[in-house]
Structure 1
Amino acid sequence: MTKREIEVATSDGIATAHLFGTAATGAGVILYMDAFGPREALFRMAERLAGEGYTVLVPDLFYRFGAYGPFDATTAFSTPETATQLRAMIGGTTQAMTAADTGFFLAALRQAGATGPVGVVGYCMGGSRALTAAGTYPDDIVAAASFHGGNLASEAPDSPHLLADGIRARVYVGTAGVDGSFSPEQSNRFVDAFRRAEVDFVLENYVGMTHGWCVLDHSVYDEGGAERHWRRLIAFFAETLKTR
């Protein structure tokens, strides 16, 4: 599998990113990281997507903080020092920052040969970033997927559900059955906003799964649930990215 590290110049500096695949279908995918940053677990997921014929870009959303990590996803939030660092990095990387960065990520995909339709997928904090990207770049992004994404329909002024009116992409949301960051109240708010905006979307509840179940190195990783997520994601992208 073709993999290379690149530097993406943004308005705020240089973001490191990893590219996978060779755009066999002409379509591209941006994979938005979870809270633990780009690492082998996400690279293996990107390779699997690239194997479906896409060029996949995995950018470092925390590049503004300089060198950090690597973090152990099983212990980072239970260790006071790394927990404090992670929370500061998450809070210091706003939706607006990632939305602005995404314009440069899209350009990097084009430069890498992905001149066809673009999809986005995100996990944990990346799930909300994927939806925000779809609402910010409706002319570029035709498919957006979020898995165990947090705060998709919160009361914050930058909550992704507030962008529903501007989304033209198809949307898939896979939520953990138990997830404090996306409560039933948020789920109801999300569905209401996306239905009123007439977005083509699916929200699927993965009963028995907990936040982080899709990602290989999480302590709550569930192989059966992860494979179910892969079936949904691969079919979703095939329907939206390969038929255009």
Structure 2
Amino acid sequence: MCDEDTVNDNDQYRQNDGTLSRRQFNALTAGTALTMMLPKIANAMAVVESNVSVKTADGVADCVLIHPTAGKHAAVIIWPDILGLRTSLRLMGKRLAESGYSVLVVNPYYRAAAAPIVPDGASFQDEATRNKILPMAMALSADTTTIDAHAFVSFLDQHTSVDTERKIGTAGYCMGGPFTMITAAAIPQRIGAGASFHGARLVTDKTDSPHLMVPKMNAHFLFAIAANDDERDPDAKVVLQDSYDKAGLPAEIEVYEGALHGWCPPDSSVYNEFQAERAWSRLLALFDTALG
């Protein structure tokens, strides 16, 4: 998860690389600019986007559903990073839907507040944003994620845009990374693929560590690891690989050189377009192979 080390790394990155000032960065993250930051995809399908409410055992989650205008498609659940459901995650969900998937981008903080939790342009670098977000993030757990995963899968399986003959995929960013693993372990009969991008706390010394859930899964996985996350915990990738090898499950695990924690969303202060696009291509390859 994002922490003080992440803040320091990101500040150093901007200073060394001569990137945008905070004011310039915040201005750039206004909606139309974000659209320009995501490269267009070839043969994009026409899609429809709608705000939806998903009933869970703990309340009602406000989410965004985006899917092609015609036909039935494999479903994907997107777990946002620590800043939650916002414009950039909607755009990422739309891009995936344009590639032929029915995509549910969720608000993991629905128990506390409706999305967006922070306005476009907010940064985890800012103390006020951290003070607002961190208590909500720390309230989430394997138990809350399991509750939500069941509700989200049930919602998708009942939607007319979803092909229930195909497996469901899930992708997560930052704190959403371990949520993909929890989802795959909680509903192995439906989750066929998961992808974690700069995922946090994938391997811990706790009894509910995500890596200990691998034997319960039946999904192919992709782990795109930030270079600075790997520097802090170089053994995590080894433990992950060993866990998937022992379970007999395919897992692509790679440290993305030069990419810092948070590099995938286009509104991130350390957005790395080259590595984000490479990670995106691996995500599409994973879903094409594993979702049937």
Q: Same fold (TM over 0.5)?
A: yes
Using the alignment, how far apart are the partners of 2:194 and 2:124 within structure 1? 28
Aligned residue number for residue 2 of structure 1: 48
Displacement after TM superposition at 1:194 (Å): 1.9
Question: What does residue 61 of structure 2 align with?
Answer: 15
C-alpha distance after superposition, 1:10-52 (max 9, x if no partner):
1111100110013745310001111101111011111111011
The 2-side partners of 1:20 and 1:193 are apart by 33
Counterpart code for 1:108: F
CA contact (8 A) 1:148 1:212 kept: yes
1:143 matched residue in structure 2: 193
Partners in 2 of 1:224 and 1:235 — Cα distance?
17
Q: CA deviation at 1:77?
A: 2.7
Report what 2:19 is aligned to: none
| Cα contact 2:62–2:115 (8 A) shared by 1 | no
1:125 pairs, out of 169, 175, 179, with: 175
- Find the partner of 2:283 among 202, 214, 233: 233
Match of 2:262 in 1: 212
Q: 1:68 to 1:58 in 2, by over 3 A?
A: closer
Of 147, 154, 176, the residue aligned with 2:204 is 154
Aligned partner of 2:123 among 51, 63, 76: 76
Per-residue deviation, 1:75:
5.2
Q: What secondary structure does 1:105 align onto?
A: helix
1:86 alignment partner, one of 133, 155, 158: 133
State how far apart, in whole Å, the 1-side matches of 2:109 and 2:75 are. Answer: 22
Deviation at 1:64, TM superposition (A): 0.6
Residues 85, 115 of structure 2: 8 Å contact kept: no
How far apart in 2 are the matches of 1:162 and 1:178?
Answer: 23
In the other structure, the counterpart of 1:61 is: 108
CA RMSD of aligned residues (A): 1.8
CA shift, 1:79, in A, is: 2.6
1:66 shift after superposition: 2.1
Is residue 26–residue 117 contact of structure 1 (8 Å, CA) maintained in 2? Answer: no
Specify the code of the residue in structure 1 equivalent to 2:244: F
C-alpha displacement at 1:159, in angstroms?
1.4
* Corresponding residue number in structure 2 for 1:31: 78
Would you tell me which structure has more strand in proportion to its own residues? 1
* Contact in 1 for aligned 2:178/2:199 (Cα 8 Å): yes
Distance of 2:56 and 2:48 partners within structure 1: 24
Contact 1:27 1:54 in 2 (8 A): yes
CA distance in 1, matches of 2:100, 2:232: 32
Q: CA deviation at 1:154?
A: 1.2
Deviation at 1:176, TM superposition (A): 1.0
Q: Which amino acid aligns with 1:176?
A: A
Q: Which runs of 5+ in 1 are unaligned?
A: none
- Separation in structure 1 between the aligned mates of residue 120 and residue 263 of structure 2, nearest angstrom: 12
The answer to whether structure 1 residue 97 and structure 2 residue 147 are counterparts is no
Where structure 2 has 5 or more consecutive residues not aligned to the other structure, the ranges are 1-46
Preserved contact between residue 28 and residue 117 of structure 1 (Cα < 8 Å): yes
Larger radius of gyration: 2
**CA deviation vs aligned residue, 1:189-234 (integer Å, no higher than 9, x gap):** 2222222222211101101100111110000001111111111111
Q: Aligned equivalents of 1:194 and 1:217: distance in 2?
A: 32
Partner of 1:41: 88
